[in-house]
C-alpha cells in the first residue's frame, strides 16, 4: 500500500509542477493588471486557492478523525494527522500572502476584522492539534484526543467562510467581479494548488506508512 501511495505522490508532484508553471505564466502574462490595486492583486490567484486547499485538507482530517474514533483503525488517524499538517502549510501560505497583499494594497499588514480574526483563530486551533501530537508522542490517548480537537476545530471553517456575509469586512469585498481572463487564471491556479496540496498530503502519508513499516521491522 505504501508503494502505491508513493507512485501516486510522484504522479501528483510532476503534474502539480507542470500545472503550477502554467498557472504562474497565466498570472503574470495572461491575467490583466487590476485597476485599483495594481500588480499586488495577482497574489489573489494563489491566496484564494491556498485557502480552498486548506479547507479541503481540514475537511479530510475532520472526516478521517470521525472514522478513527468510530473504528479505531490507525490508517484513518494517519490520514487525519497528515491532513492537518498539510493543511497548516496551506493556512500559513494564506496568512503570509494575505498580509503581503494587504500591505501592498491597503497599507496595512493586518486588520482585526471578522474574516482575518476567525482565520487566525482557525490557525491557532490547529496549531494546538499539532502541539498535542508533538507533546503526546507515545501516549496511546493522544490520537483520540487530537481527533476530538480536529473535529471541534473544523467547526470554525464555516464561520471563516461566511464571516463577510454575516459580519461584513473592512478590507474584503462582499462580492468580487472578475473579467474572463481573471476567472480562467483563478480556475487554473486553483487546480494547480489543489494538485500541489494533494502531492504534499500523499508524501506525508507515505512517510508515515514507511516509518510504521520500519518500526514494525525492528526487533
Give the CATH number of the domain where residue 13 resides. 1.20.120
Q: Does residue 216 form part of some domain?
A: no
Q: Quick one: what percent of the chain has pLDDT higher than 70?
A: 94
Residue 140: phi, psi to the nearest 5?
A: -65, -15
Residue 178 has pLDDT above 90, yes or no: no
For residue 122, tell me if it sits in a domain.
yes
Name the most confidently modeled range: 26-35, 86-95, 100-109: 86-95
35 within a domain of the structure (yes/no):
yes
Question: Is the pTM of the predicted complex or chain greater than 0.75?
Answer: yes
Give the confidence band of 216 by pLDDT, cuts at 50, 70, 90.
low
Query: In this structure, are residues 193 and 46 in contact, taking their beta carbons and an 8 Å threshold?
Result: yes
Q: Give CA 6 to chain center in angstroms.
A: 21
Domain count, the chain: 1
Cα-to-chain-centroid distance, residue 202: 14
pLDDT at position 200 is 96
Distances (CA, A) of 103 to 6, 58, 90, 147: 40, 28, 20, 36
- Output the DSSP codes for 94-160: HHHHHHHHHHHHHS-S----HHHHHHHHHHHHHHHHHHHHHHTTT-TTHHHHHHHHHHHHHTHHHHH
Of 4, 19, 5, 60, which is closest to residue 203 (Cα–Cα)?
A: 5
Average pLDDT over every residue of 37-54: 90
**219 located within any domain:** no
Q: Are residues 169 and 113 in contact, defined by beta-carbon separation less than 8 angstroms?
A: yes
% of the chain exceeding 90 in pLDDT: 66
Say yes or no to pLDDT of 57 above 80. yes
Q: Which three cell numbers mark 85?
A: 499538517
Q: What is the mean pLDDT of the chain?
A: 89
217 belongs to a structural domain = no
- Does 218 map to a domain? no
Domain containing 71: what range? 2-211
Report yes or no on 133 lying in a domain: yes
Banded pLDDT at 219 (limits 50, 70, 90): very low
CA angle 212, 54, 52 (to 5 degrees): 145
In a domain, 99, yes or no: yes
Pick the more confident residue, 180 or 138.
180
Q: What gap in Å lies between CA 6 and CA 58, rounded to an integer? A: 22
Average pLDDT over residues 96-105: 85
Amino acid at each position: 500500500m505504501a508503494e502505491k501511495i508513493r507512485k501516486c505522490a510522484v504522479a501528483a508532484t510532476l503534474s502539480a509542477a507542470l500545472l503550477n508553471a502554467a498557472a504562474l505564466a497565466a498570472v503574470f502574462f495572461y491575467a490583466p493588471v487590476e485597476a485599483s490595486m495594481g500588480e499586488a492583486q495577482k497574489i489573489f490567484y494563489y491566496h484564494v486557492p491556498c485557502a480552498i486547499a486548506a479547507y479541503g485538507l481540514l475537511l479530510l482530517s475532520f472526516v478521517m478523525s470521525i472514522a478513527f474514533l468510530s473504528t479505531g483503525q490507525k490508517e484513518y488517524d494517519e490520514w487525519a494527522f497528515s491532513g492537518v499538517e498539510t493543511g497548516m502549510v496551506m493556512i500559513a501560505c494564506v496568512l503570509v500572502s494575505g498580509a503581503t497583499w494587504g500591505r501592498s494594497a491597503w497599507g496595512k499588514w493586518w486588520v482585526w476584522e471578522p474574516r482575518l480574526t476567525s482565520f487566525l483563530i482557525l490557525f491557532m486551533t490547529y496549531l494546538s492539534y499539532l502541539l498535542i501530537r508533538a507533546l503526546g508522542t507515545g501516549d496511546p490517548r493522544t490520537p483520540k484526543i487530537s481527533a476530538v480537537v480536529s473535529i471541534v476545530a473544523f467547526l470554525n471553517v464555516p464561520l471563516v467562510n461566511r464571516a463577510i456575509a454575516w459580519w461584513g469586512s473592512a478590507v474584503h469585498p462582499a462580492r468580487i467581479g472578475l473579467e474572463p481572463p481573471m476567472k480562467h487564471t483563478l480556475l487554473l491556479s486553483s487546480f494547480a494548488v489543489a494538485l500541489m496540496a494533494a502531492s504534499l498530503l500523499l508524501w506525508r502519508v507515505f512517510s508515515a506508512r514507511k516509518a510504521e513499516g520500519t518500526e514494525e521491522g525492528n526487533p
